[in-house]
Structure formats: C-alpha cells, structure tokens
Amino acid sequence: KSKFKDLNNADGDWIGTLFLQRYSDKYLYNRFENGVQAGGRISYVKLFSIIAVFILIIACINFMNLSTAKASHRLKEIGVKKAIGADRQTLIFQHLGESQLITFLSLIIALLMVALMLPEFNEITGKQLILHFNPNIAITLLGIALITGLISGSYPALYLSGFKPAMVLKGRLNTSTGEQWLRKGLVVFQFTVSIILIVSVLVVYKQIEFIHSKNLGYNKDHIIRFINEGKLPEHLEGFLTDIKRIPGVVNASTLGNNLAANQGSTSGLDWEGKNAGEDIQFGNLEVDFDLIELFGFEMKEGRSFSREFNTEASKIIFNEAAITAMAMEDPVGKTIKLWGEEKQIIGVVKNFHFESLYERVKPCFLRLSPGSSNILVKIKSGMERETVGRIAKLYREYNEGLPFEYRFLDEDYQALYAAEERVAVLSRYFAGMAIVISSLGLFGLAAFTCERRVKEISVRKILGSTEFSIVYLLSAEFTKLVFASVFVALPISYLLTRNWLNSFAFRIDLQVWFFISAGLLALFIALITIGIQTVKAARSNPAINLRTE
C-alpha cells in the first residue's frame, strides 16, 4: 500500500515522497497527517487495554482492603502459628499461596464468562472473535494471573505476617497511621478512575449524539445507493427515467463517489488573482443532473446543472469554502481553469460535509460527469419496502442475472463512526465494572473500619448516641475520600475528554454538568455502599460487642 505526500519544489513542479505500509496494518494504523502515520483505530485498542489494566489494579486493591479488613478474624491463627515456631517467611508464602489460588480460580471463572459472553461481545463490536488457545496466549494468561496474585496478595501477606504473637493472642490489631493513609489512598485511586470513566462515558455519548444530529448541509435520509455496473452504463438514461416513474421514488441520479468517503482532491485549478505558488487542495465531486436536488444542497447563488443547456460540461459549481479560499468576489459567471481546461462558474452551494466530522469543510467543486459509478435513489418516507422491491425488479430487467445489492446512505454515514459507537457502548460496560469494583473496595474499607471501632460504637450507644449520629460519624470519613476522588478526577477527566474531542473538527462543548453529574453519581454510589456497613454497625447490640471486656 503506497501513500503520497504532496510537495512543491523550488521550480513549482510537483514531486512526491513514496513510502510503504503493510496491508495487515491498514485497518488499525489508518490515519495519516502530512504523509506521516498519526494513529488510527489502534488508539482505541490502546485505550481499552489501559482501562483493562486499571480495572485489574482496582481489583487488586480490593483484595488488599478486603483481606486486611478481615484480618482480626485471623489474629489468633497467626499468633498460634508464630508461637509454635512458624517464621514470617512461612506466613508470607501461605498468604501469597492463598492469593494465587484465588487468582487462578478467578482465571478459570473469567474464561468461562468470556466463552459465555463472547457472542454478545461480537455483536457489539461487529467482529467474529473466537476463544482460541495457543502456547503464547496460555503463557500470557498464566503470567497475568501470577502477577495479579503477587500484587494483590503482597500487602496482606506482609501485613498479616508482621503481627507480634503476644499482641495478636490478646486480640489487639494495631494499625499505623501510614497503613491507614495507604488504604484510604487506594480507595481514592479507585474512585478517581471510576469518575474519569463516568465523565468519559457522558462525553462520548453526547458527541455521538451530536454527530447523528449535526446538520450536514444535505439530507441523507431515505436514499439508497448501488453500483452502476453490468449493462446499466449502456442504458443508464433509460434506467434512471424508468426509476423516476416508480411510485415512491422522489429522484434519482449518479455520483462519482460516496459522500461518506474520501472524494479525492486536486490543486490543478487556476483563476484570476491566484497568488504565485499558492497550493489549495479542492475536493473533486463528480455529479450528474438532479444530484444537487436529490441531496437538497442549498444554492447560495447561481444555479444548478440543468438539461436545458447544452454546454453544461464546461460549467462548474463551487462551495462557499472554495470561494473564500480563492478570495473571489461575485464568482458566478467568472471563468477558471481546471487542469488547463476553461470552466465557467454557474453557482455556489452552501457548505456541506463531504467528509467525516473529523475534518473541517474543505474547498470543493462539483463538475458534471453523467454516468458515474454510484446510482442514488431518494425514496418517500414510509414507502421504503415496496419501493425498493420495485427498484429491484426494474434492476433485474436491465441487469438479468446480477443480484440487486444496495445500501441506505445513512448506513454509510454511520459506518464512518462505527469505532466511536463501539467505544461508547464498551465504555459504558467498563465504567459499570469500575464502579462496582470500586464500591467493593469502599465496602472493604468500611468493613475494616467498623470492625476496628465496634467497641467504640458500643460505648457511644451506651452513653446515649443515636444510630443516626453513629452512621454520620462513620460515613463522614468515607465521604471525604470520595470528595477527594472527585477533586482529583475532574481535572484529569477534563484534559482526557478535551484531548479526545479535539480529534473532531466539529464537536460538543464540555459542559459543567458532565463533571457535576459524575461526581454526584460516584458520591451516591459510595453513600449506599458505606451505608450498608455503617447502619449494620450502628444497629449492633452493645452487650454482645462488650461481653469479652
């Protein structure tokens, strides 16, 4: 696959730089800027890989918090083992072994879930992936499981094995300030990632909604497209005339390319007042009679191509962006040269999007080229099924033996943003997973805190504290952690989403409510999670909790 970069040498002659790209790389590495590879769909692969790593890290953090939260239940076990001679290294290996066992069991469950959910995933992504194992994949999965087990089990192993026998046999669990801050920091990290994902989901959703509602400068609805092939080129005028007689057909014409695809460009134009050495690239749209009317392009001035005139082949129409780029006043009636051939400007159309919304509206011209490769037919709304059936019947009369294969034009438009649509769907799943897992982490920290303060809570209840005051006391600390996550996450999410939106020439504005909604949602989920533990602790029986004193 070759790509070209346009350059002009000192003499003004066109030269090119040729480079090669592996065909297998074309799908993922499909974006070029000035002849240099600048990303493409690979960006989304990297994005979701990073999100997956973060979710795995969140899960590891949860294991640490939940393990240390339940540490008090294992105090006497650890104390007895140490008292009868078990050293710290033995206890570390025991806890790491437990962590590895849980991780490998999780791997088995994950593989079963992947097998069950793969059809649904294929439906979302539009792919046909299969669960295929080979030595490389097996080694990679086992390596990920091993590393995950070591990361998640390291802190609990070091934490639990470090207790002194005399202290733990008395049931005392002393936690340093540093350890408390570490656990809180881990929870802040979890919710920071979750809030970033929530904001990202909102922004991606609103941008996709904007894309589908954006005025393109033409009407793409109820238009079918099929290829001008077989015997059609020989009888095209008669075919188009017969199509227009079909009930339900509004109009029919041909177009040299699909408006949802790259139209190609040229700088081979000359006009009066053009600066020497000026190189403006113009989009080249090959159109037929009635094409402007079919799409509903709005004429700013002048007229469209018409069969009433016999010299239309020598005429040309520009868009507003082209007239602005040429700095031309009163363009209608003026003459330009296209590839050395004189063309008279008969009209100017208002700007319309003939490329994706990643690109700004560029200068372009429309030149008459009857019998182009794409046949377009506009159909009345509500009559699509029966009208397409009649068109198919007529097509088979002209092209006997060839199947009638067509697409609606809005499907081509949607295909431009298929990757973004999939990102929107998948990001919702990832955000949901991150929120659930983060809530489990907060649940673990709440359980740990309530466990350590159970006697304090009991004493407070005996001295007259209400359940509400106790719930407020316990929840305030966790709420501060969530607020800290919000303050950390919002600036990061703003920078990330702004960077993504900057890839679109036409994009939404980042609204304050995106960030406020994400913060409030995270806070709401956190309060529910915390409330389960704090209410349970506040309602516990003081007599049972204090009977060992």
Residue that has been written with the tokens 């020439």 in this structure: 505
- pLDDT category at 495 given cuts 50, 70, 90 is very high
DSSP line for 3-56: EEEEEE-TTS-EEEEEEE--GGGTTTS--EETTEE---THHHHHHHHHHHHHHH
Cβ distance 5 to 35 under 8 Å? yes
Over 80: is that where the pLDDT of 345 sits? yes
Per-residue model confidence (pLDDT) at position 5: 41
Residue with the two structure tokens 């516990």 = 540
What is the average per-residue pLDDT within 227-243?
90
> What's the CA gap between 236 and 394, in Å, rounded?
12
Separation between Cα atoms, residue 452 and residue 533, nearest integer Å? 13
Closest CA to 538 of 459, 443, 467, 449: 467
For residue 83, is pLDDT > 80? no
pLDDT at 4: 39
Instruction: Give residue 323's identity as a one-letter amino acid code.
Output: I
Place of tokens 């372009």: 364
Write the pLDDT tens digit of every residue in 14-25.
455 677 778 777
- Report angle CA 91, 94, 100 to the nearest 5 degrees: 140
**H helix or E strand, kind and range, residue 250:** strand 249-255
Phi, psi values for residue 60, rounded to 5°? -65, -40
pTM for the complete prediction?
0.69
Instruction: Check pLDDT > 90 for residue 377.
Output: yes
Q: Give the Cα separation of 75 and 72 in Å (integer).
A: 5
Q: Give the number of residues written for the chain.
A: 549
How confident is the model over 320-347, as a mean pLDDT? 91
Estimate the crossing angle of helix 512-538 against helix 177-213, to 10 degrees. Answer: 140
* Cα distances (Å, whole numbers) of residue 304 to 95, 301, 332, 356: 79, 10, 12, 24
Residue with tokens 């999670």: 529
Query: Sorting pLDDT into bands at 50, 70 and 90, what band is 33?
Result: low
Q: Provide the 10 A C-beta neighbour count for residue 319.
A: 26
pLDDT band for 1, please (50, 70, 90 cuts): very low
* Integer Cα distance of 65 and 180 in angstroms: 11
**Rounded mean pLDDT, 6-14:** 46
Residues near 540 by beta carbon (within 8 Å), at least 6 away in sequence = 454, 457, 458
Q: How far is Cα 213 from Cα 52, in angstroms, rounded to an integer?
A: 31
Q: Are 298 and 217 in contact (CB under 8 A)?
A: yes
Residue 208 has pLDDT above 50, yes or no: yes
Tens-place pLDDT, residues 424-478: 777 778 778 778 877 777 777 777 777 667 777 778 878 777 877 877 777 787 7
Hey, which residues does 14 pair with through a beta bridge? 8
The chain-wide mean pLDDT, for the chain, equals 81
